[in-house]
């Protein structure tokens, strides 16, 4: 009994830490391409011959397009014009993703909120030198935050106050995964592994068997600890070890609580499994903000969503549907 507990502990630690790897069997051909997009290495693998390469390229082209058009830091993007000048957004795919983000805001009591961008800028998490702001600056900034300040009407996104700015960083990578998978399935690809910097989708099976997602230790060069068998499933992870800095012994990271303006506390990492990668990405961020008490009960209430959480204290929590699905690598 004790032994199996230990086994579970190790596996779950690794999953929540979120560094994920993939094992393909040796000596069997697999086509693979990687591009650096959305601040992450984005890789698509398809078992089989090189005829799949042009399809992989098209799927990555779509991800590249999302990186360009959904990026508030790109001066040519509709998001930039919306944030800086208040230019309404009418592009259907962007408006649709904002609508999805607002739906998640409503369902998570505002834990997920794409209007956190002024705070992200204040903390400097959008750039390369983040810093600890003063309380007064955070208080000022919080006045510009709130998903109810966004309005979508007749397919057009507008804001109710001039200072409102949006950032799709908590959802766009999952959306890019979903869009890439659509490109693949439209081209009759039935088996693929899409991994955009930890936002993953396992399409179909890997030569008749479920995809085995290997989970690594949350340390540099950590070995693979465990494997999870998945098929037609997405995995998304949010963790406090990404984009962070330390000041006076305190670590500050890039997932902010829209209510306080400070990095959300209590969870070290949370991995969400759900069939829709866009939802998985948004919820991994939302649940992280909700904190250790509220996150797992919230998951339990959503059909088709499972999660593994590790708290900052090292406590592990696995949702019911996942408890018997861990396998050795
Ligand atoms: P990553 O994209 O780094 O893998 P997440 O999916 O958790 O991790 O997204 C974090 C990003 O989401 C931040 O960099 C920021 O752009 C944005 N963000 C931060 N806090 C929130 C929040 N409370 N709601 C929505 N988006 C957020
Ligand atoms: Mg996310």
* Residue minimizing CA distance to atom 27 of ligand 1: 170
Give per-residue pLDDT as tens, 238-253: 988 778 899 999 999 9
CA–CA dist 177, 200 (Å, integer): 7
Cα angle 300, 306, 310 (rounded to 5 degrees) comes to: 95
Q: List per-residue pLDDT tens for the chain, 329 residues long.
A: 222 222 223 233 333 333 444 555 566 799 999 999 999 999 999 999 999 999 999 999 999 999 999 999 999 999 999 999 999 999 999 999 999 999 999 999 999 999 999 999 999 999 989 999 999 999 999 999 999 999 999 999 999 999 999 999 999 999 999 999 999 999 999 999 999 988 999 999 999 999 988 655 443 444 554 568 999 999 998 988 778 899 999 999 999 999 999 999 999 889 999 999 999 999 999 999 999 999 999 999 999 999 988 888 888 888 998 887 765 55
Residues whose CB is less than 8 angstroms from the CB of residue 34 and which lie 6 or more positions away in sequence, other chains included:
41, 42, 43
Ligand number nearest to the C-alpha of 18: 1
Which residue in 247, 267, 271, 249 sits closest to 257, CA to CA?
267
What per-residue confidence (pLDDT) applies to 4? 27
89 lines ligand 1 (CB under 6 A): no
- CATH numbers and ranges of domains, the chain: 73-159 (1.10.3980.10)
What percent of the chain is modeled with pLDDT above 70? Answer: 86
Cα angle 300, 218, 264 (rounded to 5 degrees) comes to: 55
* Residue minimizing CA distance to atom 4 of ligand 1: 238
Q: Contact 199/180 with Cβ under 8 angstroms?
A: no
Q: Which of 237, 254, 278, 283 to mutate to test the pocket of ligand 1 (most atoms within 8 A of CB)?
A: 254
77 lines ligand 1 (CB under 6 A): no
Torsion angle defined by CA atoms of residues 306, 268, 284 and 291, in that order, rounded to the nearest 10 degrees: 90
240 lines ligand 1 (CB under 6 A): no
Residue 124 phi, psi (nearest 5) = 80, 20
Torsion angle defined by CA atoms of residues 272, 275, 276 and 280, in that order, rounded to the nearest 10 degrees: 0
């Amino acid at each position: 009994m004790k032994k199996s507990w230990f086994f579970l502990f190790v596996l779950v630690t690794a999953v929540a830490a979120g560094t994920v790897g993939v094992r393909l069997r040796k000596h069997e051909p697999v086509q693979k391409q990687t591009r650096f997009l959305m601040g992450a290495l984005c890789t698509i693998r398809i078992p089989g011959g090189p005829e799949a390469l042009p399809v992989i390229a098209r799927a990555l082209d779509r991800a590249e397009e999302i990186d360009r058009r959904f990026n508030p830091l790109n001066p040519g993007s509709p998001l930039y014009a919306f944030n800086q000048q208040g230019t309404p957004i009418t592009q259907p795919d962007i408006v649709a993703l904002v609508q999805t983000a607002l739906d998640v805001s409503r369902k998570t009591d505002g834990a997920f909120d794409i209007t956190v961008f002024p705070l992200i800028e204040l903390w400097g998490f959008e750039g390369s030198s983040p810093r600890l702001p003063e309380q007064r600056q955070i208080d000022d900034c919080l006045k510009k935050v709130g998903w109810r300040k966004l309005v979508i009407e007749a397919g057009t996104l507008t804001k109710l106050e001039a200072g409102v700015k949006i950032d799709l960083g908590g959802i766009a990578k999952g959306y890019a995964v979903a869009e890439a998978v659509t490109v693949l399935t439209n081209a009759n690809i039935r088996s693929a592994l899409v991994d955009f910097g930890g936002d993953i989708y396992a399409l179909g099976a890997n030569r008749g068997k479920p995809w085995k997602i290997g989970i690594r230790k949350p340390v540099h060069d950590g070995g693979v600890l465990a494997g999870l068998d998945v098929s037609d499933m997405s995995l998304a992870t949010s963790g406090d070890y990404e984009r962070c800095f330390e000041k006076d012994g305190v670590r500050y990271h890039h997932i902010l609580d829209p209510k306080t303006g400070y990095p959300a506390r209590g969870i070290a990492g949370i991995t969400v499994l759900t069939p829709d990668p866009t939802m998985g990405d948004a919820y991994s961020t939302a649940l992280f903000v909700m904190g250790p008490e509220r996150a797992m009960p919230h998951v339990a209430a959503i059909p088709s969503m499972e999660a593994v959480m590790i708290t900052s204290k090292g406590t592990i929590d696995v949702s019911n549907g996942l408890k018997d699905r861990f396998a050795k690598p």
